[in-house]
Structures are given as C-alpha cells and as structure tokens.
C-alpha cells in the first residue's frame, strides 16, 4: 500500500492594529468628571493561492488592510462612541441617583447607606411620597438561566415595592412573581415591581433574572397604595 503523498502551500497572514487614547473632560449635574481610556482595534486576514488539485481553496487578503490603514478608523470610531455613551449614561444615572437620594432624605427617611443609594434612589423615583420605609436590602450574584429569589411579604394595608439594580449597565434584569401576577420584563439594568394586598399572594415568590452574569443590589419597600409604578406593572 502506497503512503499518502504530502504537499505544502503558502498562507500569508496580515494584521494591522490602530490605537488611540480617549481623554475626556465633562460636566454633569453631579459635578465635573475626567477620564482617560486606551482604545485599539485590530483587523486580521490572510492570503492563499488556491490549489484545486489538492482541495485547497484560495483566499485573497482584504487589500484595505495592506494598502489603506485609515480603513480601520471607522471601527475605532465605534469603540470611541460606545465608551462615550457608557460614560455619559453613567454620569446621568449618577446625577439622577444623587437627586433622588436628596429627595429621599428630605422626605424624612433615614440617610441611605452607600451600598443602598442606587436602589433607594430608584424606589423614591417610582413611589415618591408614597414610599413609607425600606424593609430589607441585599445582594445577588446573578447567572443567566437561574432566578434569584427575593423575600417578599405584603403587610396590609401597605403595598410592597421591589427594586433591583445591576452594577453592570449592560445587564438586562427582569423581576416577576412565580405565579405571573406581576412582572417587569423590559430588560434594563434597573427593574421594579409593586404589589398590593388583594392583587395576588400575600407572600409572593419574587424572582430576579438576568441575561448575563452580574452583581445586583436589591431592596424591598413598604408603600402607600396609589397609581401603578413607572414600569406600569401593578
């Protein structure tokens, strides 16, 4: 039996990287911010001369990589735009949080602990003057496909507001009760549901879910009965 014949072919690889440093000074309602970040974008391709006799498909390199390095600038521009959007969103959220925390404390509530500022601010945004008091706070380590259960116990005549916020702004959180009576399924980094006596179970099973691994802080609050919350889920 004759051995298999061997042959070789040449594959030429090409790679080009463009990098930039983003330095930004911005002014938000919460105060000035300055940040810097190094960004880079890399494109790779290869060139092979086809050999049909030996079943080697040919592939021509994208000539822009070789001849037009400026062709990488659009991809770098997307990275810059994404970074700016993330930082601007964080600045706006920080200013909103600080306004809500000040209003929360001005309404006579105890000053929020640092780790609770985000959920307390969201709770006050939703309920405003109907917010009575925080009942419980906690942390959640979330993974996709696994729901985290938040303890909830409705004590008439008060309603119960449940709030969860993720540290990652790209996380898409949802809150819902196991029986489907309540749900905020919008998929945002902050999620809320508000439950009142007579509208479902007195001890509902509240489940917090995510689309990606994330750390979240949650809070449960007693509220006066009133209009539906901002998610329209009451």
**pLDDT tens-digit profile of 78-130?**
888 888 888 887 777 777 777 777 877 777 777 668 888 889 888 988 998 89
Q: Is residue 85 in some structural domain? A: yes
134 and 197 share one domain: yes
165: pLDDT confidence band, cut at 50, 70 and 90? very high
Q: What is the CATH number of the domain that holds 170?
A: 2.60.120.380
pTM of the model: 0.64
Spatial distance between the Cα atoms of 226 and 207, rounded to a whole number of angstroms: 23
146 and 207 share one domain: yes
What is the reported pLDDT for 1? 45
Which position has the token pair 């889920």?
233
123 and 184 share one domain: yes
218 and 120 share one domain: yes
147 and 216 share one domain: yes
214 and 139 share one domain: yes
Spatial distance between the Cα atoms of 127 and 221, rounded to a whole number of angstroms: 10
Structure tokens at 8: 């070789």
What is the reported pLDDT for 6? 72
Q: Is residue 39 in some structural domain? A: yes
Of 93, 108, 139, the residue that ends a domain is 93
What is the reported pLDDT for 234? 45
227: pLDDT confidence band, cut at 50, 70 and 90? low
Give the N- to C-terminal CA distance of the chain in Å, as an integer: 78
87 and 155 share one domain: no
122 and 172 share one domain: yes
Closest CA to 64 of 77, 48, 45, 49: 45
Spatial distance between the Cα atoms of 111 and 117, rounded to a whole number of angstroms: 9
Cα 96–Cα 182–Cα 140 angle in degrees, nearest 5? 60
What is the reported pLDDT for 5? 65
Spatial distance between the Cα atoms of 109 and 26, rounded to a whole number of angstroms: 32
Domain containing 211: what range? 116-223
Q: Which helix (H) or strand (E) holds 101?
A: helix 73-106
pLDDT greater than 60 at residue 205: yes
Print burial letters for 144-177: b (CB count within 10 Å at least 16), e (below 16). Answer: eeebbebebebeeebbbbbbbbbeeeebbbbbbb
153 and 74 share one domain: no
* Arithmetic mean of pLDDT over the chain: 84
Q: How many domains does the chain have?
A: 2
> Crossing angle for the helix pair 117-127 and 73-106, nearest 10 degrees?
70
Q: Is residue 206 in some structural domain? A: yes
Residues whose CB falls within 8 Å of the CB of residue 40, separated by 6 or more in sequence, listed in order: 17, 18, 19, 20, 76
């Amino acid at each position: 039996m004759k051995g298999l014949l061997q042959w070789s072919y040449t594959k030429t690889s090409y790679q080009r990287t463009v990098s930039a440093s983003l330095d930004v000074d911005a002014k938000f309602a919460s105060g000035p911010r300055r940040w810097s970040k190094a960004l880079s974008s890399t494109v790779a391709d290869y060139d092979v001369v086809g050999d049909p006799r030996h079943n080697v498909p040919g592939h021509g390199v994208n000539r822009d990589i070789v001849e037009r390095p400026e062709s990488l600038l659009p991809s770098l521009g997307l990275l810059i735009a994404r970074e700016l959007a993330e930082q601007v969103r964080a600045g706006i959220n920080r200013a909103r949080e600080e306004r809500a925390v000040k209003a929360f404390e001005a309404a006579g509530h105890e000053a929020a602990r640092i780790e609770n500022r985000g959920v307390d601010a969201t709770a006050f945004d939703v309920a405003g003057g109907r917010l009575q008091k925080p009942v419980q706070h906690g942390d959640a380590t979330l993974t996709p496909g696994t729901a985290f259960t938040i303890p909830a116990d409705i004590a008439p005549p008060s309603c119960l507001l449940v709030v969860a916020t993720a540290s990652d702004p790209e996380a898409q959180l949802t809150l819902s009760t196991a029986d489907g009576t309540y749900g905020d399924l919008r998929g945002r980094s902050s999620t809320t549901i508000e439950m009142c006596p007579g509208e479902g179970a007195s001890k509902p099973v509240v489940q917090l879910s995510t689309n990606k691994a994330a750390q979240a802080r949650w809070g449960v609050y007693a509220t006066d009965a009133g209009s539906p919350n901002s998610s329209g889920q009451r």
